[in-house]
Amino acid sequence: MEHIANIVTAGLDVMQIRKDFPILQQKVHGKPLVYLDNGATTQKPQVVIDAEARYYEVYNSNVHRGVHHLSQVATDAYEKARHIVAGYINAAHSHEIIFTKGTTDGINLVANTMSRRFLKAGDSVIISSMEHHSNIVPWQMACEESGATLKVIPINERGELLMDAFEAMLDDSVKIVAVTYVSNTMGTINPVQDIITLAHARNIPVLLDAAQAIQHISIDVQALQPDFLAFSGHKIYGPTGTGVLYGTTEWLQKLPPYQGGGDMIKTVTFAKTIYNELPYKFEAGTPNIAGSIAMGTAIEYLQKTGIDKIQHWEEQLLTYAMQELRQIDGIRFIGDAANRSGAISFLVHNIHPFDMGELLDQQGIAVRTGHHCTEPLMDLFKIPGTVRASLSFYNTMEEIDKLVAGVKRAASMLL
């Protein structure tokens, strides 16, 4: 009864929500699926699946390139999705929304174009110790190509940024700060407003990797004022291969095109090409039309559900999960920040994460094991990897109970 009361308090009918996700109805190894790998990708509601199918069934056509009916319908749906995204993050203009293949693609766009126009020897780029490889490697490449230096904000044992160290790094050499909003491994919510304020005081732009924030936290880019913000559609209940790069008009106009091809041009001659206006300047070639439309549908689904209600329920799930997992003998949490969301990384005694993950899978419980594309972070903690349970609003307290029981059972078998 206590769990039911929690669902009512959160304002969500979680059991009804679960019916919207076909994959959650299946069994794995004869057990009901307990999907706790939402940090890797979220499951898709039927309305999203239907939206993508409908494009191919009813109005499959290329966008922006035809006067015929199907092309106009496809273009309208594609641009409607852009407006939906802009509204969701409160962008000032829909042309500040660039459709990408995902967070990785968005960060690479900024890193590549920044290195070509704004980075040189003697300059520096700041990232943090908890970054996903997608917010490390592009900047390493940019620094290698330009001669700039990469600086890394340290963290404490709880997995929190050392803000004094960050502030000390800010000098005239810094040309951009690129940090994650929420750690994909530890769930740490970084003080991004403070980071932006400090950087902007020195006229330094900030890119936020919001891949692990966009589905958990209400984001208002006009209030927060990042210069760039990237996220993936598949992390927000949309299709894979979709994503968004938000950039302020000022910065998007400064950057050169990322790729050349169709639709990112106004005119082409052998002597010179005139590039298109925003956002098309950064959308070369035929985009993922169906996926982008379905991503818009996913965001509409979240808006209808209510991001504040989602955040409240997920906070309850996280609190309960931490409370119950702490009671397991020999458990060690990797990152235990005061302000956190979504992900829980842990080890139990000396059990290898892969062994734990395989035994949990036999019980129908899906978690992620390994370094989670954060090898430098694992090196800091001197571990090969972790077991990561990552939450969604369609998860239940009963599923947390199954996770805890599963970890205990696996530990009893492996110790």
Rg (CA), the chain: 22
Nearest to 365, CA basis, from 413, 403, 325: 403
AA letter at 64: H
AA letter at 193: Q
Query: What is the three-class DSSP state of 247?
Result: strand
Compute the distance between CA of residue 334 and CA of residue 219 in angstroms, rounded to an integer: 26
- Residue 201 CB coordination number (10 Å): 10
Contact, 72 vs 49, CB < 8 A? Answer: no
Compute the distance between CA of residue 109 and CA of residue 100 in angstroms, rounded to an integer: 9
**Residue where the block lists tokens 């950039």:** 247
User: Would residue 143 show up in a list of annotated catalytic residues for this protein?
Assistant: no
- Residue 307 CB coordination number (10 Å): 18
Nearest to 207, CA basis, from 199, 219, 215: 199
The strand pairing partners of 387, in sequence order, are: 346, 369
**Residue where the block lists tokens 């139990």:** 348
Contact, 211 vs 232, CB < 8 A? Answer: yes
Compute the distance between CA of residue 268 and CA of residue 210 in angstroms, rounded to an integer: 36
Per DSSP (E only), the strands in 158-269 are 174-180, 206-209, 228-232, 243-247, 265-268
Locate 2 and state its tokens: 């206590």
Residue 193, CB-side half-sphere exposure with 13 Å CA sphere? 6
Choose, from 73, 373, 380, 383, the residue flagged as catalytic.
Answer: 373
Nearest to 40, CA basis, from 160, 149, 121, 132: 132
Compute the distance between CA of residue 379 and CA of residue 410 in angstroms, rounded to an integer: 26
How far does CA 251 lie from the centroid of its chain? 22
Compute the distance between CA of residue 406 and CA of residue 387 in angstroms, rounded to an integer: 13
- Which residues are known to be catalytic? 373
